Structure formats: structure tokens, C-alpha cells
Amino acid sequence: MKLVISSFALPTMAHCIMIFLVIPVIFLYTTCWGIQCYQCESLKDDSCTEHEVDPRYLLRCPVTHNYCRKIISAFYFKDSSETFVVRECAIHGSIVEDCYKGKYSKDSYQYVCECKNAEGCNSSSNFHHQNWIVY
């Protein structure tokens, strides 16, 4: 018994094979790239401050990091204070709020915001900062 494939079925089968090969490639391409976040530290570069960030720091995150984070830390010493900012890619934790306050001690604090709603969402203009009272 011979199997006869008509000329009509061959293009249809080729199209199906092509579709099954192309769709996974497109899916892999779109899922292998993580979100873009600003990634910098104000202690290393003055163009990464609380209120502004240089566009060159908008970089692609690893695919495992699906959130952006901005951390503002303030340390108060006897005669001075030090505030610095870290912007980074993040793996979302178990927090519910977009922003939260962490407190180290009586005179130091950390303000952390996380987002995933847009590329570069950890720039200064995208977070609604609240005035935290440090006591």
C-alpha cells in the first residue's frame, strides 16, 4: 500500500510545521528579556540621585528579576548625615504596598519602592514619595 500525499496537502503541512516552529521562537524571544530598570548607586555616581537619574542607567534586567526597586537610605550621625540612593532590578517579595519604610534604628531609615508597571518605573518621577517622620 502506497501513501500518496496530494500536492494540496503538502503546502498545508509545511505551513503547519512552520507555524509550530516559529511560535515557540517568538515566545522565547519575548520571555527571555527582562524588564528594563534604572541600575545605579548614588555613592558611586552623582548622576544617580534621589530626584534624578541619568538615562544611560536604564538597563535590561535578568529575566528572573521582574520588578524595579528604588531604595533611599538615610543615616544620621552625631554631627552629620548621609543619604544615598540605589536603583536596581528586583525579584518581588511578599510586600503588598508599592512603597514601604524600613527602619534601622532610632536615627536612620530606609524607604523602598518597587514597581513593575512600566519600563524604567524606578525613576524619581514615577514614585509618589511620602514624607516619613524619622524618630
Per-residue DSSP letter, 126: G
Task: Residue 52: count other Cβ atoms within 10 Å of its Cβ.
Answer: 10
pTM of the model: 0.65
Q: What is the pLDDT of residues 102-117, one digit of tens each?
A: 767 777 888 888 888 7
| CB-based contact 72:50 (threshold 8 Å) | yes
Q: What is the pLDDT of residues 10-38, one digit of tens each?
A: 556 665 555 555 445 444 444 567 899 99
Residues whose CB falls within 8 Å of the CB of residue 99, separated by 6 or more in sequence, listed in order: 111, 112, 113, 114, 127, 128, 129, 130
Domain with residues 36-126, CATH architecture: Ribbon (2.10)
| CB-based contact 14:58 (threshold 8 Å) | no
| Per-residue CA distances from 102 to 8, 61, 109 (Å) | 67, 25, 6
